[in-house]
Amino acid sequence: MRGERVQLVSDRLDLMQFRVSSKSLEDTSQVPAVLSPVVRIAESEAMRNREMTLNQFDSDNGEPMVMLLNRKHWADPVTEIVKLGSTEIWTLVNLTEDAHPIHLHMVRFQILDRQSFADYEYLANDKILPTGERIPPSPHERGWKDVVQCPPYATTRIIVPFQGYAGRYVWHCHILEHEANDMMRPYEVIS
């Protein structure tokens, strides 16, 4: 494309024009070995561990009716009250047959691990009975995150420093049909 002009368009809109130099160039840039150092947060820094369920309730003929977090509706009173500046581990217990991309507003966090568990034991006794090893996050998931993929019938643990501002925020599944069918909850950060 040397010496040419390339137009980027969307439908009938001209978005951007690239003017490609006609001179020859040598690109000496290099991708650094480390893009940005991320210090892993030690589990011992967490002040508390909250177990949070991801729920789906079906109708009598097996149609999904409502999806909830912690078996609570959006409009129920706030149950997660967090101290500004504290660090917590949230264990997301997925009791549904779907994966859910869970997003927390305001904060960034790190993924600790995922582990499959026996859903029948949890449904009967609210106890996590692991059925597999703790699986650490993949290399591309070891940076700062604000969404985490929660696979079905597994726990996904994240460690969250609540830094920023006090106030009321939300956390929710990022699938539109789920968050609008009540898979969204408020949480409160207090100073």
Interface residue with Cu ion among 104, 154, 173, 184 (CB under 5 A) is 173
Which single residue is written with the structure tokens 């789920």? 178
C-beta of residue 183 within 8 angstroms of C-beta of residue 124: no
Helix (H, G, I), strand (E, B) or coil at 121: helix
Nearer Cβ to Cu ion (1/176): 176
Restricting to residues 52-111, which ones interact with Cu ion according to CB under 5 A?
100
- Beta carbons of 114 and 134 less than 8 angstroms apart: yes
Q: Which is nearer to Cu ion, 87 or 186 (CB)?
A: 186
**Shortest CA distance to 156 belongs to which of 173, 169, 170, 168?**
173
In the bound complex, what is the minimum distance in angstroms from residue 81's beta carbon to Cu ion?
24
Give the position of tokens 């643990």: 157
Q: Which two tokens mark 161? A: 């420093």
d(CA 108, CA 113): 16
**CB-hemisphere CA count at 13 Å for 31?**
1
Q: Cβ 80 to Cu ion, closest distance in Å?
A: 18
With binding defined as CB under 5 A, does residue 172 bind Cu ion?
no
Cβ atoms < 10 Å from Cβ of 86: 16
Q: Which of 80, 178, 182, 184 binds Cu ion (CB under 5 A)?
A: 178
Site string for Cu ion, 16-35 (x = CB under 5 A): --------------------
Mark 118-157 with x for binding to Cu ion (rule: CB under 5 A) and - for no binding. Answer: ----------------------------------------
Instruction: Specify the residue, 52 or 189, whose C-beta has the smaller distance to Cu ion.
Output: 52
Contact between residue 102 and residue 92 where contact means Cβ atoms under 8 Å apart: yes
Nearer to Cu ion, 100 or 157 (CB): 100
Residue 149 CB, nearest approach to Cu ion (Å)? 10
What are the residues binding Cu ion (CB under 5 A)?
A: 100, 173, 175, 178
